[in-house]
Structure 1
Amino acid sequence: MSNSPTVTANAGFPSAVTHDKAVASPWVRRARTAVRKVTGKDLFPEPEHLASFAAEMFTTDAVAERFVAEVYGSLGGEQARALLDQALTDGLTSVEDPPAAMVALFDEFETVPDWVDPELVAEGEQIWRRWGTALFSVAGGETLEMYTEAAVAKPLSLAGGYAGDNALRRFLETARFWIDVSQPGALLTPGSTGRATAMRVRVMHVWVRRTVAEHPEWDRERWGEPISQSYQLLTLMGGSVVPALALWLTGVQTTPKEIRALLHYQRYLGHLLGVRTQWYPANISEALRLLAFVNMTRSYDAGADGAELIESFPAAFQVTGATGLAKLRGKYNAAMYAAYSSMYMFPWTRRKYDMPSPLPGLLLIVARLPLVAATETLRRICPPFSRWHERVMCRHRESWHAMQMAGRSADFSHGKGLRR
């Protein structure tokens, strides 16, 4: 096998993906040679997989796009959202003479692919429940690393969801999504809250994609499509392999077998979200090779958009005007998310931005490591304790979320304009 794929002209990638530069880099070549000697495989995915990944940076969710164009376009946002909510709550049969685009969307959504293994999906849901709020911490922190890329940061910045004062609100809405799609039976139970939430997020993505793609700041040749199939695939890796490995830093243990279950669970969650990639990593090795490729071909071109998103996240947990217990909780959350942001970003990335000191939170994480390790060990050898532990983690994530929301609700709204 050669050291690089046999495709040329940046391998069909958007120009911001520095494929040719990475392939030509002496240190990358040395790394690929070393990995091949040790493992027998390339550091990067197979050429055909890279070609698929490149093409799908220019591909979106055609079925949901048609639904939004036809149904929202003819009925208007408010009436179309009401129709969608009715179908999600009472079933498509409750909608009198549903539009053809809506029938197509729900036919696809309700059809469970032949490759789905219900036991693996259920195991993936259970792992996310077991992680509790640790999922929030690692997912929030790891995402900051990719905010250096304009292809990721620009849509979020234009929509304004994760920027400035909106950062906490949107993060908590995403946390609600994580909770909903990991309830027992969430993904395979018809009419479940988790499936409804997945559909609402899918439609919300269409709205963001359409409005960002039409904005003069968006450069399709440079970045591909907003919220493309390929970047949604990376999000699925960010819910499986990446957090499973990263959480070992805090003492939370996830085995290779469990990571494989997470990969399967995330693949089906992606199906519900409209992710129809031609290639999905079949195992941990393939996932890690994709992540290695993505990290070595980054352009760090997000500029001020990325800085605002990265710096807004830990700052969002700073509580102003609170007293008593609320003030104490705010200080604790601010310290911990400053630490998580430090742990899950590369040091050379983090030091480019104005970030709070991670030291207080890091000291707390180190101090509790023995307790977390003991809990994880006991959970593995004692099934009754494991069940009790899961219930505790579920209650904690619900109470944490409710406290942060302070009476607000997550509505996964769409159809709104951009902030600039």
Structure 2
Amino acid sequence: METVPFRYRQNTSSFAHYWTEGIGKDLLENLGFQPDIKNADQFVPYLFKWDNPADQVVFDLYQKIGFPNGNRALSNYISKKYVDSDEKKAFDQLFDSFTIEPDWVDFSRIRKGAELSRRAGISALIVLRDYCLMGGYESSAINKPLIYTGALKKGAVKRLTDTVEFWVQITKEDALRNHAEGFKQVMMTRMIHAYSRVNILQHSDWDSHKWGIPINQWDLLATQLGFSLVFLVGLRRMGFQPSEEEIDGLFHKWKYIGYLLGIPLELLPETEAEAIEALYYWTMTQANGDADSKALAKALQNEPLEANYPKNELMRKFMREVHLYYNYYLLGDYSCNLLELPKTTVGKLAIVNIWKYKKLEKNMHLDEVRQKAILDGGNEQENVRVIYQTFNK
């Protein structure tokens, strides 16, 4: 086992409140047992493991032709368009390191998970932004690569623009089939991780003994859990009642995405129970948030003010208040206070959206209602994607 890094702390995390007083308490009750924190020690080596095949593409190609040209070449390679011999050689080595559609992948299950993701409409994007993303800032360690790659200088608008693009593209019908846009987005994200990791290690004072390798496999699993388990918890909090088939599909979908991103299969949960246990081990070994955590939270809090849409400044201020309301509604007072997020009064009007979805969910067992929700929700998310791409590029 590698030397235990400074960041690894058992039972000293602010996340302890989540599991004893917050939503995590219900998750443990559903799990039926209290995971033994000592089991988390087995995962320490993954803090020093990373995606070597993707990093090699960075060394062999991206550092020679630049990141934009590298991703254009990747897109062409996946689409079976022309790439030169150096580009083909680099990507052949990457794609030869894994099976694109392994035998265990079931696209009918993935389809159900994608349908859940779409039918949640705007609420899905709210959960991702105000619960999954904001809540992730409570950990100081996983966010250090964002600081080293200049995320604060680039602003939260760019990160949200990229995240919305990624999310919408991977949740469309058959989005993860080979050559589909969603599949491209996953592979491009894999290269973003590799490019960032290589540059951090080559051009900064990153301390791997303190933080582990940047964008390591254990932290990548936490991100995957954010899009799967934490997303599911947030949807339930918003009033959604996913079916067992949808839940199964959601976790299968994210197992496949995690695999495509280079996360080892042995880490990827197949069920909600496995995901709860994995989230417990990861969160309960995190050092508390720090000044960087609060700075990232503040940047996300003020993102509506920095965005170029809506055009009306008053409406952008109102959107800021709405997101603050959802932060408190989804994360709770304890986490929001740790991140120093202010409370809101005006933003409480957002409760109307929650009431609307709770009412609609009562008839979701009817196929025509569900199919309409999938169509309408997908269109809502696509509209948001277009807005971000149009006004914030």
Length-normalised TM-score, structure 1: 0.80
Q: Secondary structure at the match of 1:240?
A: helix
Q: Structure 2: how far apart are the matches of 1:79 and 1:373? A: 46
How far did residue 165 of structure 1 move? Answer: 6.1
CA contact (8 A) 1:45 1:286 kept: no
Q: Give the structure 2 partner of residue 416 of structure 1.
A: none
Q: Structure 2: how far apart are the matches of 1:360 and 1:126? A: 33
How far did residue 268 of structure 1 move? Answer: 0.4
Q: Structure 1: how far apart are the matches of 2:85 and 2:307? A: 51
- 1:45-124 maps to which residues of 2 (within 5 A)? 47=39, 50-77=40-67, 79-91=69-81, 94-98=82-86, 99-108=88-97, 111-124=100-113
How far did residue 290 of structure 1 move? Answer: 2.1
What code does the residue aligned with 2:361 have?
Answer: E
Q: Secondary structure at the match of 2:142?
A: helix
How far did residue 184 of structure 1 move? Answer: 0.2
Q: Structure 1: how far apart are the matches of 2:195 and 2:149? A: 10
Q: Structure 1: how far apart are the matches of 2:170 and 2:309? A: 32
Q: Structure 1: how far apart are the matches of 2:226 and 2:182? A: 19
How far did residue 38 of structure 1 move? Answer: 9.8
Map Cα deviations across residues 328-369 of structure 1 (whole Å, 9 max, x no partner).
Answer: 64244222211222233352232134424333333431x344
- 1:330-369 maps to which residues of 2 (within 5 A)? 330-365=316-351, 367-369=352-354
1:136 matched to 2:143? The reply is: no
How far did residue 217 of structure 1 move? Answer: 4.1
Q: Structure 2: how far apart are the matches of 1:345 and 1:257? A: 27
Q: Give the structure 2 partner of residue 259 of structure 1.
A: 247
The structure whose Rg is larger is: 1
CA contact (8 A) 1:45 1:290 kept: no
CA contact (8 A) 2:112 2:250 kept: yes
Q: 2:369 aligns with which of 368, 385, 389?
A: 385
Q: Give the structure 1 partner of residue 24 of structure 2.
A: none
Map Cα deviations across residues 159-184 of structure 1 (whole Å, 9 max, x no partner).
Answer: 223x2661012112111100011110
Q: Structure 1: how far apart are the matches of 2:9 and 2:240? A: 35
What code does the residue aligned with 1:201 have?
Answer: T
Q: 1:43 aligns with which of 32, 35, 45?
A: 35
1:154 matched to 2:144? The reply is: yes
Map Cα deviations across residues 115-156 of structure 1 (whole Å, 9 max, x no partner).
Answer: 211111111111111122222221222222332323222111
How far did residue 280 of structure 1 move? Answer: 2.1
1:401 matched to 2:385? The reply is: yes
How far did residue 250 of structure 1 move? Answer: 1.8
CA RMSD of aligned residues (A): 3.1
Larger RCO of the pair (alpha carbons < 8 Å, separation 6+): 2
Q: Structure 2: how far apart are the matches of 1:250 and 1:96? A: 49
Q: Structure 1: how far apart are the matches of 2:11 and 2:211? A: 16
What code does the residue aligned with 2:248 have?
Answer: R
How far did residue 241 of structure 1 move? Answer: 1.4
Of all paired residues, the percent bearing the same amino acid is: 23
Structure 2: runs of 5+ lacking an equivalent: 21-26
Inter-CA distance 315–408: structure 2 relative to 1 (3 Å threshold): closer
